[in-house]
C-alpha cells in the first residue's frame, strides 16, 4: 500500500518506520528496496484486503493525480464488508486502477460492491494489447460526426476488449498514448448494450481527472454520457428497423466471416 497511519497521519513508506494499516489495524512495515516501489507491507506480505493488487508505477502515477485524502479509502457496504478503494472522490466515485488480469466473477463483485465505480485498465501490461485494439478499431466506423465514438464488430478479436466489453460499469483503457501537450488519451469502453459490437470513444486523461477533481463527473455521466448512449441506442434501433444485414447474419455465416477475416 502507498499509505499507512503513522501518528494519526496517512504517511508514505520511508526506511525504518512502522505504521498501522487503516483497514485491519495491524502493524505495517515500510519496504523501501530497489526491486519494487516503496510500499507498506503486512507481516508475511499478505494484504488484509483480498482484492488488493500489488502496485506498480502506473498505479502510483494515477493515484498521485488525486488528493491524498481520496487515495486508499475504506469503503463500507451496509452489511459491514469493507475494502480499500484505490481512489474515492468527494462525490463517492470509486476509481479502480487495474493492472493485472481480473477474473469476471471478481470484477462483477467489485463493481456491485462499489456501485459508483470507474475502472481504469493498464493497457501497457501486454505488448500486444494496444496493437490489437487499434487494429480492431480500424475495422469499425465513427458513430456520429460530432463525437469521437467508434463502433466495431468482433470485439473478441482484441484480448483486452474481450476481457472488459461485457462490463456494465464504465471502463477506460490507458495505453499511455500521448496527446496534446501535458495530456494523454484514454479509451472509454461503453457499457455493453448489444451483442457482437463494442462502442468506444477516445477521451482526454486530463479532462477525466479534472471532471473528478472539480466534482463534475456526475454531471458528465448524467448528461453527456447519457446523450452518447442515446445516440448509440437510436443507431441500433434504426438499424434494427431497416433490417441491418449484420443483425441477420446467422451464427454459421458469422463463423465463416470470422475465418475469412483471419485468413485461415
**Residues of the shown chain interacting with Zn ion in the complex, contacts defined by CB under 5 A:** 21, 23-24, 48
Q: Tell the smallest beta-carbon distance from residue 105 to Zn ion (Å).
A: 23
Q: Tell the smallest beta-carbon distance from residue 73 to Zn ion (Å).
A: 14
User: Is the CB of 77 or the CB of 134 nearer to Zn ion?
Assistant: 77
Q: Tell the smallest beta-carbon distance from residue 244 to Zn ion (Å).
A: 53
User: Is the CB of 23 or the CB of 132 nearer to Zn ion?
Assistant: 23
User: Is the CB of 49 or the CB of 166 nearer to Zn ion?
Assistant: 49
User: Is the CB of 24 or the CB of 134 nearer to Zn ion?
Assistant: 24
End-to-end CA distance of the chain: 47
Other CB atoms within a 10 A radius of the CB of residue 190 amount to 20
Q: Tell the smallest beta-carbon distance from residue 23 to Zn ion (Å).
A: 4
Q: Tell the smallest beta-carbon distance from residue 47 to Zn ion (Å).
A: 7
Which residue, chain included where needed, has cell 502506473?
Answer: 58
Other CB atoms within a 10 A radius of the CB of residue 113 amount to 17
Q: What is the DSSP annotation of 165-181? A: TT-SSEEEEEEEEE-ST
User: Is the CB of 23 or the CB of 147 nearer to Zn ion?
Assistant: 23
Q: Where are the beta strands (DSSP E) in 89-161?
A: 94-98, 117-122, 141-144, 147-153
Q: Tell the smallest beta-carbon distance from residue 139 to Zn ion (Å).
A: 46
- Please write down the long-range contacts of 146-151, taking CB distance under 8 Å and 24 or more positions apart: 147/201, 147/228, 147/231, 148/201, 148/202, 149/190, 149/199, 149/200, 149/201, 149/228, 149/231, 149/232, 150/199, 150/200, 150/201, 151/197, 151/198, 151/199, 151/200, 151/232
Which residue, chain included where needed, has cell 437510436?
Answer: 234
Contact 152, 136 (CB under 8 A): yes
User: Is the CB of 18 or the CB of 238 nearer to Zn ion?
Assistant: 18
User: Is the CB of 23 or the CB of 56 nearer to Zn ion?
Assistant: 23
Q: Tell the smallest beta-carbon distance from residue 197 to Zn ion (Å).
A: 43
Q: Please, which residues bridge with residue 149 across strands?
A: 201
Amino acid at each position: 500500500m502507498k499509505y499507512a497511519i503513522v501518528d494519526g497521519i496517512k504517511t508514505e513508506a520511508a526506511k525504518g518506520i512502522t505504521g498501522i494499516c487503516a483497514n485491519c489495524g495491524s502493524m505495517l512495515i515500510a519496504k523501501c528496496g530497489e526491486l519494487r516501489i516503496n510500499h507498506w507491507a503486512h507481516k508475511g506480505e499478505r494484504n488484509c484486503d483480498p482484492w488488493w493488487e500489488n502496485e506498480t508505477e502506473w498505479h502510483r502515477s494515477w493515484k498521485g493525480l488525486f488528493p491524498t485524502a481520496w487515495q486508499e479509502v475504506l469503503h463500507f457496504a451496509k452489511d459491514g464488508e469493507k475494502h480499500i478503494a484505490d481512489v474515492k472522490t468527494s462525490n463517492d466515485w470509486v476509481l479502480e486502477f487495474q493492472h493485472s488480469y481480473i477474473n469476471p466473477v471478481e470484477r462483477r463483485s467489485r463493481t456491485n460492491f462499489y456501485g459508483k465505480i470507474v475502472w481504469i485498465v493498464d493497457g501497457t501490461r501486454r505488448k500486444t494489447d494496444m496493437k490489437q485494439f487499434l487494429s480492431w478499431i480500424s475495422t469499425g466506423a465513427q458513430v456520429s460526426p460530432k463525437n469521437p465514438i467508434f463502433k466495431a464488430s468482433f470485439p473478441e478479436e482484441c484480448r483486452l476488449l474481450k476481457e472488459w466489453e461485457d462490463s456494465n460499469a464504465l471502463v477506460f483503457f490507458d495505453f499511455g498514448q500521448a496527446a496534446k501537450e501535458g495530456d494523454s488519451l484514454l479509451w472509454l469502453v461503453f457499457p455493453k448494450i448489444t451483442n457482437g459490437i463494442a462502442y468506444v470513444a477516445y477521451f482526454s486523461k486530463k479532462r477525466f481527472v479534472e471532471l473528478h477533481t472539480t466534482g463534475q463527473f456526475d454531471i458528465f455521466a448524467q448528461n453527456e454520457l447519457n446523450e452518447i448512449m442515446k445516440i448509440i441506442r437510436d443507431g441500433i434501433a434504426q438499424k434494427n428497423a431497416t433490417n441491418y444485414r449484420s443483425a441477420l447474419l446467422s451464427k454459421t455465416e458469422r463463423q465463416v466471416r470470422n475465418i475469412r477475416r483471419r485468413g485461415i
